[in-house]
Amino acid sequence: MGLFDRVFGGSKSTAYPSPVSDVDFAEKVLESDLPVVVEFFSTTCPSCHVMTGLLKELAPEYDGRLRVFSLNVDYCPEARQNYRIMAVPTLITFADGRPGKRIQGLIPLAEIRRLFDEIVV
């Protein structure tokens, strides 16, 4: 399968990134037994669509060691406010219910891999 298919939804894997919202954020992210990366995005943001594609490509390699979620800031004002999301895309890592590293803007796949490697158990 080509890069275009993976980035724009042709991938058979629908596991990553999994959606999360204000309603289930605490349960899925803060109470997770694994480290978590949350992508804060907006559907009107072109860079966010690219970031989501990169996460779809990389996250399956970390299955069982890390969870990856995406949160639409347009529909989740509580999380947007709680984590002071001022720009999208923003990635925030979480471990033991606490936020860790924060990266704003589109980053290359190699940097996402480094971020994942830093937090996996």
Domains of the chain and any CATH numbers:
3-119 (3.40.30.10)
Measure the CA–CA gap between 19 and 38, rounded to whole angstroms: 9
Q: Name the band, by pLDDT with cuts 50, 70 and 90, for residue 121.
A: low
48, 55, 71, 91: which is the annotated catalytic residue?
Answer: 48
β-pairing, 67-72 vs 18-19, is parallel
Q: Respond yes or no: is residue 48 known to be catalytic.
A: yes
Query: Which of these, 45, 61, 72, 44, lies nearest to 6 by C-alpha position?
Result: 61
Q: What is the CB neighbour count within 10 angstroms for residue 60?
A: 13
pLDDT tens per residue, range 2-50: 455 555 554 444 457 999 999 999 999 999 999 999 999 999 999 999 9
Measure the CA–CA gap between 6 and 4, rounded to whole angstroms: 6
Measure the CA–CA gap between 10 and 70, rounded to whole angstroms: 18
7, 34, 45, 107: which is the annotated catalytic residue?
Answer: 45
Measure the CA–CA gap between 13 and 24, rounded to whole angstroms: 22
Q: Respond yes or no: is residue 76 known to be catalytic.
A: no
Q: In the sheet where 36-41 sits, what is the strand order?
A: 18-19, 67-72, 36-41, 90-95, 98-104
Where do the H-state alpha helices sit in 21-121? 25, 46-58, 77-82, 109-119
Q: pTM here?
A: 0.86
DSSP at 78: H
pLDDT tens per residue, range 59-80: 999 999 999 999 999 999 999 9
